[in-house]
Structure 1
Amino acid sequence: MRLATVASSPVRDLLALIDRPEVISFAGGLPAPELFDADGWRAAFGTALSGPSARRHLQYAPTEGDPRLRGQLADRMTARGLPTQAGDVLVTTGSQQGLTLVAAALLDPGATVVVEEPTYLAALQCFAMAGARIVTVPSDDDGVDPDALERVFARERPELVYLVPTFANPTGRTLAADRRARVAGLAERYGVWIVEDDPYGELRYRGDAIAPVAAYADRVIHLGSLSKIGAPGLRLGWVRTPAPLRASLVVAKQAADLHTSTIDQAAAAAYLAVADLDGHVRGLRVAYCERRDTMLRLLPEAMPAGTTWTDPDGGMFVWVRLPGDADTARLLPYALRQDVAFVPGAPFFAGRPDRATLRLSFSSSTPDEIAEGMRRLRAAVLSAGNGPQEGRQGAVEFGKLAASHLRQDLI
């Protein structure tokens, strides 16, 4: 059974274990629920269920998606520097499904996939489910290393390379513009498909926007989502489909679920027609920027000397590395006793993990909650320093608890 070799998501397992109101969680990459436009979405669903089209919006729909919504999404991508037509867009049940469809269309068992190290956990799960062989390539503060990537392309001849080039999960790093051009050129030269996963690209708090990798080459499959700028509960994403792959991706979508929810698509189209989504995104940027700045300001007080971390221009994550040969899985039980949570970094590595790393998400906590959470994290660090054996046992116990949760999804 292929699924028997796919590890459960430690993020989802951890979220299940810390579902207590007193816990301040830096673990999940969750949008802030208090910033959801509940009134706007309520009105949009009312519109979708009103008038002569109401019953049609409760019916089966085309696999490719609601034509009106596809056009609206194409217009948003075009405005971001990626010229797109409605016919290029395949609406999916979240961008995670888009990744699964790409794997189904392109990957036979044993096919080679290149990922940067570290990378998004659910992508590793997806490729493992497809039976792919995963090869890693190093990255630094400017994203994936193009020279190292070319060596991997020449040696491994992969089918595709997976990247989160803008405010990456888990590191928050952004692939520099000059590197985007080089990576796109390499893909063209070696005949490799790039999967550009872009759920965070509109959440920029500093600096100028950079064009998507898909703007530099035709061999790029661009994944988008309304989850981070709209509402994740809608599960609405899309794939910008290059013409040679369009038919295969549509067939994969048909086999997966026929089509994404008709009523949710209709409501999204109604929402995008009247709501000021750009204005809403500007509000998210202001709020999340303050939260990021609060976390970065307090990290020196919470972490031991010699700790390093990323300083992201946008997104939801800060990537932290403790000094020396620390193991953040051993720190986690102490943090949970202090009612604060984070994600140890090891599961984000497809190759040899750096166990001294951890991921902190700042998006779903207010500045005051972040300040209190960092105080608790400091207390956990101090406690762990005084009880390494207890911490090791705690990590083992957490691992047993996490293993009991077998859900395959991930944020």
Structure 2
Amino acid sequence: MEYNFASRVERMESSIIREILKVTEQPGIISFAGGLPAPEMFPLQEIKQTFNKVLGEGDESALQYSATEGFYPLREYIAAALAEIGINTSPDQVLITNGSQQAIDLVAKLFLDPGDVVLVESPSYLGALQVFNSYQASLVAVPTDPEGIELDSLERAITQYKPKLIYITPTFKNPTGETMGLERRKDLAAILARHHIPLVEDDPYRELRYSGTPVPPIKAFDKDGKVIYLGTFSKTVAPGLRLGFATTSAGLMPKMVLAKQGADLHTGTLVQRVLYNYLTSSNVKGHIKAICKEYAIRRDTMISAMKRQFPEGVKWTEPQGGMFLWVTLPPQLDTTSLLNEAIKLGIAYVPGPAFFPTGGGRNCLRLNFSNSSPDQIETGISRLARLFHNNLQTVEKGTNGF
């Protein structure tokens, strides 16, 4: 049967990461592709006990429809936690969402008409690019450096394109792992105020810091309500709960609530109560500290293995936190073309072009270190090193043959 789809369906594309993950289910494949937390770090027993506690209280309302805004005590908890990092908000300005991914979609629904411009980092988070494309936005990539989006380039893009929205992940950025410095955050907040443009600050990795000094969110310097701040519990508790949040200005929040009402009425009542009880009855800071300790070992193992085994000319980021490293190969190599060969060797990664909305990253790739054991990381990097050495030798022989 043929269907008469809306024109926006043409801009909906499957995530290359999801396609790669299907392949990685094959036996023997070590995957550095997905942005997955380590399942062995999930607080399984605590969550199980909390489910039993919530249901054992005999309060049927835990299974009932509930407010679109979210469970009020959970919103109070989030507002208090945000105050600790410099964000002054109230529970009434917090919306519970089905992961922060839904929050990106809600913002896009509110702000974007077909053809509207969104400024994004180059490279940028693939999931956000998918959302903006589905709303038929025009994506403009702004250059970045090791501290994130370049502010001079951003101001020029604002003047030239008159964007509706800016989207960034300034802390342990997906895909590079890099973090924006303090002064640039302050300067960016001033740019937003000067040009009256909303910015989505997607901050899923903030708590996963292994070294260096924490920096406040851009939202902490937002005096005019221009920053829409997104967070999640997927990286520190469990992604299967699908619980995230957004905090916005008091003026924008009612529209966010209306957008969510039309999408799904509300986030699951039971999982919100379970999360709240877990957060208030467990040693959450100790749990996050344990995650950070383990992920730091995995990050260091990957960097050490790359230093020993990767060929000369290969470069990579060394992030202070998060879940990813960004690798740049010599320009004659194409990471998309190499992927099938990599999978035959039993290793998977995400090619760089997936993160560039308007082209780029041909010789780059993203590696995830959080979801592989140190032994798997050693083996996987060895396989990648073999792939890179072999293909560089092939290219050099071809060049010398002319």
Corresponding position of 2:114: 109
SS at match of 2:88: coil
Deviation at 1:16, TM superposition (A): 0.9
Q: CA deviation at 1:160?
A: 1.0
Whole-angstrom CA distance in 1 between matches of 2:86 and 2:294: 25
For residues 309 and 164 of structure 2, what CA distance do their matches in structure 1 show?
Answer: 43
Secondary structure, aligned partner of 2:357: coil
Deviations 1:248-274 (A, max 9, x none): 100000000000011100100111110
Match of 2:341 among 334, 354, 360: 334
* Other-structure match for 1:99: 104
**Aligned residues: CA RMSD:** 1.2
Aligned to 1:221: 228
Q: How many residues align?
A: 387
Aligned residue runs from structure 1 range 136-215, under 5 A: 136-215=141-220
Judge conservation of contact 2:333–2:392 (CA < 8 Å) in 1.
no
Distance 2:250 2:264 in 1: 22
Q: Name the structure 1 match of 2:135.
A: 130
1:344 to 351, 366, 377: 351
Say whether 1:11 aligns with 2:11. no
Give the aligned residue type for 2:207: E
How far is 1:300 from its partner?
2.6
Give the equivalent residue in structure 1 for 2:369: 362
Are 1:203 and 1:315, in contact at CA under 8 Å, matched by a contact in 2? Answer: yes
**CA displacement at 1:331 relative to structure 2:** 1.6
Aligned partner of 2:95 in structure 1 is 90
Among candidates 254, 265, 283, match of residue 258 of structure 1:
265
Match of 1:401 in 2: none
The correspondence for 2:311, drawn from 304, 315, 318, is: 304
2-side partners of 1:336 and 1:387: how far apart? Answer: 19
Report the counterpart of residue 320 of structure 1 in structure 2: 327
| Counterpart AA for 2:43 | D
Runs of 4+ displaced beyond 6 Å:
none
> Helix, strand or coil for the counterpart of 1:29?
coil
In structure 2, give the amino acid aligned to 1:6. Answer: M
Structure 1 residue 130: deviation in Å? Answer: 1.0
8 Å contact from structure 1 (residues 301, 378) kept in 2: no
Matched with 1:396 is none
| Corresponding residue SS for 1:151 | helix
What is the distance in 2 between the residues matched to 1:135 and 1:15?
28
Aligned-partner Cα distance in 2 for 1:52–1:375:
54
Determine the structure 2 residue equivalent to 1:232.
239
Question: Could you tell me whether the CA contact under 8 Å between 1:325 and 1:355 is conserved in 2?
Answer: no
SS of the residue 1:162 aligns to: strand
Does the 8 Å contact 1:334/1:381 carry over to 2? Answer: no
Q: In structure 2, what residue type is equivalent to 1:339?
A: G
Provide the C-alpha distance between the structure 2 equivalents of 1:81 and 1:91, rounded to a whole number of angstroms: 20
TM-score (norm 2): 0.94
CA distance in 1, matches of 2:144, 2:388: 28
The 10-residue stretch of structure 1 (288-297 or 44-53) with the greater mean CA deviation from structure 2: 44-53
What letter corresponds to residue 84 of structure 1 in structure 2? T
Could you tell me how far apart the structure 2 residues matched to 1:385 and 1:222 are? 43
Query: Residue 372 of structure 1: CA displacement?
Result: 1.0
Contact 2:85 2:220 (8 Å CA) reproduced: no
Identical counterparts, % of pairs: 43
User: Which moved further from structure 2: 16-25 or 361-370?
Assistant: 16-25
Runs of at least 5 residues in structure 2 that lack an aligned partner in the other structure: 1-6, 396-402
Measure the CA separation in 2 of the matches of 1:32 and 1:354.
Answer: 27
Aligned to 1:46: 52
